[in-house]
Amino acid sequence: MSKAMIAMSGGVDSSVAALLTAQGGWDAAGVTMLLTDGAGDSDISDAKSVCDRLGIAHHVLDMREEFDREVMRRFADSYLCGETPNPCIVCNKTVKFGGLLNRVLEMGFDKIATGHYASVKYDAGSGRWLLVKAADRSKDQTYFLYMLSQEQLAHILFPVGGMTKAEVRELAESNGFVTSRKHDSQDICFVPGGDYVRFLEQYRGIQPREGSFLDLNGNVIGRHKGAVRYTIGQRKGLGMGFNKPMYVCRKDMTANTVTLGDNADLFSRKLIAGGVCMTAVSHIDRPLRVTAKVRYSQREEWATLEQTGEDEITLVFDNPQRAVAPGQAAVCYDGDCVICGGRIIRGEN
């Protein structure tokens, strides 16, 4: 019998993933990652409760060192360089389907299962594993998974990918799981309340310094409380009033300046992305019509995709996109399938 390890966060989605995996004929076990100091006790307890109810083993693996090195440290570096990082994407690539998957395979398991809303399919024609959108489009998480390699996709199961969130909760409740009514976390797990500056103060000991607000012509128009406190597209919380709505358009972390402009100044028709991961294809040899998005919460927009370097793609959108932020991901789709994605380097008009 083939063996599958379910990565269990202590939430309802991974609980149902464990149920479906165990019922699907796999020799199943659950595992919960310990990621940060002093966190995760209740989640570990909830995951173990579900495993006990299913009659499968539950393991806890200490991944704190890898999580700190691969996710928290990179997040801090990116933020302090003026980017808008997405640590969940990095965690999926390097920790959950990186270090954890490697350990699971070493333990003799064939697959790792998670509660992500997505699907993996093998395309015999191309010989490639495809990353496909979930049935519940409102919960689809393929944006966060675009960096997964062919080798990683070959060892992954997404049991809840064909279900709606309501169906997942109903199944959890009917099986008596303690996680059935547990709320989904909306925060980055190591940044409670979304307070990035406080995290950076505690993790790196940085103390934001006051600097200048500039207009698009480089003129000083006010003072800010530290460039690290602001994100591209931000309007509220600038700390001072202007005679019209002003938005963060650029940041210069070396000069500690924040450039403000009108909402219209935030739009880019073109973007360049690096760190490219090819999923449905191995390379792109001609311009492709795709849909793409530059942040998770955004709807997909039509664009023309070109591979402009070994590790670079260029997207030209039919309609200019707002607040294209370096550090975020640009993910491209052909219908339900992820074609490729990359880390945004810059947006251009």
The yes-or-no answer on residue 332 being catalytic is: no
**51, 81, 88, 189: which is the annotated catalytic residue?**
189
Q: Sign of torsion, CA 338 340 344 349?
A: negative
Q: Rounded CA gap, 56 and 6, in Å? A: 10
The yes-or-no answer on residue 340 being catalytic is: no
3-state secondary structure 199-256: HHHHHHCCCCCCEEEECCCCCEEEEECCHHHCCCCCCCCCCCCCCCCCEEEEEECCCC
Distances (CA, A) of 93 to 71, 98, 126, 284, 315: 10, 6, 23, 22, 23
Q: Rounded CA gap, 59 and 66, in Å? A: 18
Cite the beta strand spans of 296-336 per DSSP E: 301-309, 312-322, 329-334
**51, 81, 88, 91: which is the annotated catalytic residue?**
91
Q: Which residues are catalytic?
A: 91, 189
